[in-house]
Amino acid sequence: MSWFKSSPFSSPHEAAERMVHLLAVEGEIAGTPLSEAEREMLAAAGPIPDELSAKARLLVGRIFDKQTNEDSDPRGFNNAMSWASDSEWPNIAEITAQVVTERNPDRRLRGWAWVRDMTQLIGCGLLSVLLMFAVVIIISMVFHWK
């Protein structure tokens, strides 16, 4: 099954810590390093100071600007985000989700993409109904039901 991915992390907490580590590295590059207390607050769930939230938002935005392909590194920031938010919702995952939402506020399909999506949806529905009819006909022929 090529669509099924196994986690490169041993736990969601490890994925959150990896995100915080990547954020700290980006902070050092940008000249705004994170202290150990700030790292712990970002890796845990709960309230955080507004200045730390703003600092983390800027660094997450810089990380997104630098990344080109989200599947290139299984332990990269984007992939860690999908695994970090599995069990609990750490602060780093919440801040990242807010940055993504701010960058892409309206993700609805428009134009021909919407038409193509609706056509596929209706086609799958019709095929499902036809498949159910075929199963009933085959079962009735096998058991000679009238």
Contact 42, 48 (CB under 8 A): yes
Structure tokens belonging to residue 107? 């993700």
Q: Is residue 96 within 8 Å of residue 60, measured between CB atoms?
A: yes
Span 23-69, pLDDT tens digits = 999 999 999 899 999 999 998 888 999 999 999 999 999 988 887 65
pTM across the whole model: 0.66
Over residues 118-137, the pLDDT tens digits come to: 999 999 999 999 999 999 99
Determine if residue 31 is left, alpha or beta; phi over 0 gives left, psi from -120 to 50 gives alpha, anything else beta: left
Q: Which residues contact 80 (CB under 8 A, 6 or more apart)?
A: 9, 15, 16, 18, 19, 22
Q: Which two tokens stand for residue 96?
A: 């990242």
Neighbours of 25 (CB within 10 A): 14
Q: Using pLDDT thresholds of 50, 70 and 90, give the confidence band for residue 146.
A: low
